[in-house]
Amino acid sequence: MTTTVRTRVAIVGAGPAGLLLSHLLADAGIDSVVIDQRSRAEIESTIRAGILEQGTVDVLTRTGASTRVLTDGSRHDGIELRFDGHGHRIDFPGLVGRSVWLYPQHEALKDLIAARIAAGQDLRFGTTAVGMEGIDGDRPTVIATTAEEEDLRIEAEFVVGADGSRSVVRGAVSGASAGGYFREYPFAWFGILCEAPPSAHELIYSNAPDGFALISQRSATVQRMYFQCEPDADPNALSEAQIWDTLQARVPGTALTEGPIFQRDVLRFRSFVARELRRGRAVLVGDAAHTVPPTGAKGMNLAVADVVLLDRALRALLLDGDERLIDGFAESASHRIWKAQHFSWWMTSMLHVAPGATDFDRRRQLGELRSVVESDAGRTFLAEAYTGWPLPE
Ligand code: DHB
């Protein structure tokens, strides 16, 4: 049996990009249907990064998508870069007048899902997009299979691929140029969540001779930490004692407060940008359009920035029949995408120890870190990118 639903915008993917877009469009009276192959429980419990740019927080709070970020999240006014035995604080408000917020992505997703459901949004979990039809015409259609294995057709005026790095919509948008721009890195992060009080009040990004470590936080009782590991590392191969030894050795000068580790994962590093972000009446946003390595936490923030641009373009198109913004969408979005690609690559290469790095490489890297922390221009460059370039009004 095939069910057909009609809507103005079909959104594939109920991650930050898809949910925020449906929220913003609804505010303009534009209906959408959002589908995701995952269950609500899976979306709400998958652990991702925790840093929101000032502009992301402004969008979430101003539009009522999440106000809990202000009560349950915490504002961070700086980070520390640690190398060669010393810490150097980057003071965000002092340098650029902005801050960031520590608020886990899955908490933002809980808020967005609750807000969409409260507003009566057509939001279908367990529903898998399998293909697309007619994206070159004016009735693009998403073909999907429901949790009950029934066929679903969503006929829309516009289709948005917000379906993550293994996007189905991307195949239809990119066609023959599906490859995109791509880079892999010879390392990964070993991430843990542990029950312990914070070891530091702000994030520490530490470049140590054996590799990188990041000390992050979650709450007064739960902490998130990462250390550089091999890309094919097995998260279960290390004992808790080995994990703590590795972390402690990589942040010399700070005695980490240890506690039971209740989650461990290995995060692979990739940089990717799809060659085409739009074709006809379909666009890609968020991880479907691009992936960044995690250093600097740009992933969710970049998804939000894509959506702010796309919301404006779809309002102009669907309310006023004005195609100019949607015609310029790929070009405008790509400017921020490539700035974020550069920043994530730069932070990654400046802070990690590449396998086979020579003494020259090591000394050059310390020179680079010193040029950043010892100069107002260097610190400001980092602070501007980390807290996020301004979003369009
Ligand atoms: C976190 C993750 C990041 O990639 C980062 O740069 C900072 C913080 C986190 O999960 O807390």
Would you call 186 helix, strand, or coil by DSSP? Answer: strand
What pTM did the predictor assign? 0.97
161 lines ligand 1 (CB under 6 A): no
299 lines ligand 1 (CB under 6 A): no
How many other C-beta atoms lie within 10 A of the C-beta of residue 110? Answer: 17
Task: Please state the domain extents for the chain.
Answer: 2-76+101-181+271-347, 185-269+355-387
CATH tag for 2-76+101-181+271-347 (out of 3.20.20.120, 3.50.50.60, 3.30.420.40, 3.10.20.90): 3.50.50.60
Torsion of CA 269, 103, 26, 337, to 10 degrees: -30
Pocket test for ligand 1, best of 52, 202, 203 (most atoms within 8 A of CB): 203
237 Cβ partners below 8 Å, 6+ apart? Answer: none
Ligand 1 centroid, distance to 311 Cα (angstroms): 27
203 lines ligand 1 (CB under 6 A): yes
Q: Output the six-digit token pair for 79.
A: 């980070």
Strand order in the sheet with 261-273: 86-91, 78-83, 203-208, 211-217, 222-229, 181-195, 261-273, 290-291
- C-alpha closest to that of 192 among 97, 286, 266: 266
Catalytic residues: 76, 205, 294, 298, 386
What pairs with residue 263 in β-bridges? 193
> Over the stretch 205-263, which tens digit does the pLDDT of each residue have?
999 999 999 999 999 999 999 999 999 999 999 999 999 999 999 999 999 999 999 99
Pocket test for ligand 1, best of 51, 80, 185, 267 (most atoms within 8 A of CB): 51
Residue 176: predicted pLDDT: 62
> Over the stretch 354-391, which tens digit does the pLDDT of each residue have?
999 999 999 999 999 999 999 999 999 999 999 999 99
Ligand 1 centroid, distance to 159 Cα (angstroms): 31
363 Cβ partners below 8 Å, 6+ apart? Answer: none
| Local confidence band at 1 (pLDDT 50, 70, 90 cut-offs) | confident
- C-alpha closest to that of 254 among 221, 213, 220: 213
- Average pLDDT of the segment spanning 115-125: 97
| CA 217 to ligand 1: nearest atom | 11
344 lines ligand 1 (CB under 6 A): no
49 lines ligand 1 (CB under 6 A): yes
Our CA angle for 344, 101, 110, nearest 5°, is 100
Ligand 1, atom 11, residue with closest C-alpha: 50
Ligand 1 centroid, distance to 49 Cα (angstroms): 5
| CA 189 to ligand 1: nearest atom | 4
Q: How many residues does the structure list for the chain?
A: 393
105 lines ligand 1 (CB under 6 A): no
50 lines ligand 1 (CB under 6 A): yes
Do 352 and 188 touch, CB atoms closer than 8 A? no
- C-alpha closest to that of 341 among 203, 182, 213: 182
Q: Output the six-digit token pair for 40.
A: 């609500």
Do 191 and 224 touch, CB atoms closer than 8 A? yes
217 lines ligand 1 (CB under 6 A): no
- Quick one: how far is CA 156 from the chain centroid? 27
Ligand 1 centroid, distance to 294 Cα (angstroms): 7
Return the CATH fold of 185-269+355-387: D-Amino Acid Oxidase; Chain A, domain 2 (3.30.9)
| Local confidence band at 296 (pLDDT 50, 70, 90 cut-offs) | very high
CA pair distance 207, 203, nearest whole angstrom: 13
297 lines ligand 1 (CB under 6 A): yes
294 lines ligand 1 (CB under 6 A): yes
Ligand 1, atom 7, residue with closest C-alpha: 297
> Over the stretch 47-100, which tens digit does the pLDDT of each residue have?
888 999 999 999 999 999 999 999 999 999 999 999 999 999 999 999 999 999
Residue 231: predicted pLDDT: 96
Residue 177: predicted pLDDT: 59
The per-residue DSSP string of 58-106 comes to HHHHHTTS-SHHHHHSEEE-EEEEEETTEEEEEEHHHHHS--EEE--HH
CA pair distance 197, 107, nearest whole angstrom: 20
Q: Output the six-digit token pair for 234.
A: 């097995």
> Over the stretch 124-142, which tens digit does the pLDDT of each residue have?
999 999 999 999 999 999 9
Residue 360: predicted pLDDT: 97
Half-sphere exposure of 12 (CA within 13 A, CB side): 38
Ligand 1, atom 3, residue with closest C-alpha: 297
Residue 179: predicted pLDDT: 75
Core vs surface per residue 119-144: b (16+ CB within 10 A) or e: eebebbbebbbeebebbeeeebbbbb
Ligand 1 centroid, distance to 102 Cα (angstroms): 9
- C-alpha closest to that of 286 among 195, 167, 202: 167
Residue 21 in this model has a pLDDT that exceeds 90: yes
